[in-house]
Amino acid sequence: MSKPKLHIVSLSGGKDSTAMLLRMLEEGMPVDIILFCDTGLEFDAMYRHIDKLEKYIDRPITRLKGKDSFEYLFFEHEPKRRNPELQGRKGFSWAGPRNRWCTATLKTRVINHYLRGLSKDYEIEQYIGIAADEPQRVHEFNYPLIDWGMTENDCLQYCKERGFDWEGLYDIFHRVSCWCCPLQSFDELRKLRTHFPELWEKLRYMDKHTWRKFLKNYSAEELEIRFSFEEERTAQGLPIKGKEFFSELRKRLDDFNGKE
């Protein structure tokens, strides 16, 4: 005997998944459960967006959260280390391109655990909000935005037409995800520093109290030096690229790190 189907929308809260959910509901597509997995690292405006969206659609949004906080996993957790050089180090510290532990632990595992419980009684149809201009991210599941040909810009416009603006987050950032993600571009990190100085200071604190450098070539403190130097040069009408800029920047970084 076949199991009944359960149609589940994975909602990150960003423009793409929000547009997908709204259009699915507007077109009468089946939506049984809407899942939002809270990493604890969203911008405050994102949490308010989820609340606003829930009221707008007049449907409950199921909020999931892992048993361990990001802070505990980042600073305190003591995983089994394969690399003997890392023995005795506490916390996962910063993620990297090949070790995105935060996504795996705080989102993927939490969602999969929830879905496994449901799959005992239901056949799961999961819908993922990946836009038509990023098909390289498609693996399995259902991708309505790709079927509709909706790009990232289309999704943002679609949401704005329905009154969703994330309190201006998308006017600042290209992508709105975990605010302290080390996989962000320099440009996004500059914007974080400018528009959310309290979060920037928290990021600097975190970087000072963990064992892995924030970025491969820059600690958060070194980024602060670079960004401050860029502001200084810009105020003087000088370029923030080229041989002269990087030569002087290297001197400042060497002075900071106590190198002769």
Q: Kindly report the pTM of this predicted structure.
A: 0.91
Single out the residue of 248, 250, 5, 242 nearest to residue 121, CA to CA.
5
What average pLDDT does this structure show over 61-80?
Answer: 94
Q: Where are the alpha helices (DSSP H) in the chain?
A: 15-26, 44-57, 70-75, 101-103, 109-119, 144-148, 152-160, 169-172, 186-195, 197-208, 220-235, 243-256
Q: Which helix (H) or strand (E) holds 174?
A: none
pLDDT tens, residue by residue, 155-199: 999 999 999 999 999 999 998 989 999 999 999 999 999 999 999
Mean pLDDT score across all residues of the chain: 94
pLDDT tens, residue by residue, 98-140: 889 999 999 999 999 999 999 999 999 999 999 998 765 556 6
Q: Which CATH superfamily is domain 1-176 in?
A: HUPs (3.40.50.620)
What is the longest distance spanned by two Cα atoms in the chain? 75
Q: How far apart are CA 98 and CA 117, in angstroms?
A: 29
Q: Give the β-pairing of 33-37 and 123-127.
A: unpaired
pLDDT tens, residue by residue, 26-38: 999 999 999 999 9
Query: Using an 8 Å Cβ cutoff, are 225 and 233 in contact?
Result: no
Query: Using an 8 Å Cβ cutoff, are 93 and 210 in contact?
Result: yes
DSSP class of residue 107?
I
Q: How far apart are CA 130 and CA 172, in angstroms?
A: 21
Q: How far apart are CA 135 and CA 143, in angstroms?
A: 10
Q: Which helix (H) or strand (E) holds 37?
A: strand 33-37
State the burial class of residue 2 (Cβ atoms within 10 Å of its Cβ: 0-12, 13-18, 19+): exposed
Q: How many CB atoms lie within 10 A of CB 34?
A: 24
Query: Using an 8 Å Cβ cutoff, are 102 and 70 in contact?
Result: yes
The tokens describing 146, both together, are 């790709």
Residue intervals of the chain classified under CATH 3.40.50.620 are 1-176
The tokens describing 112, both together, are 């999969």
Q: How far apart are CA 165 and CA 156, in angstroms?
A: 8
Q: How far apart are CA 152 and CA 150, in angstroms?
A: 7
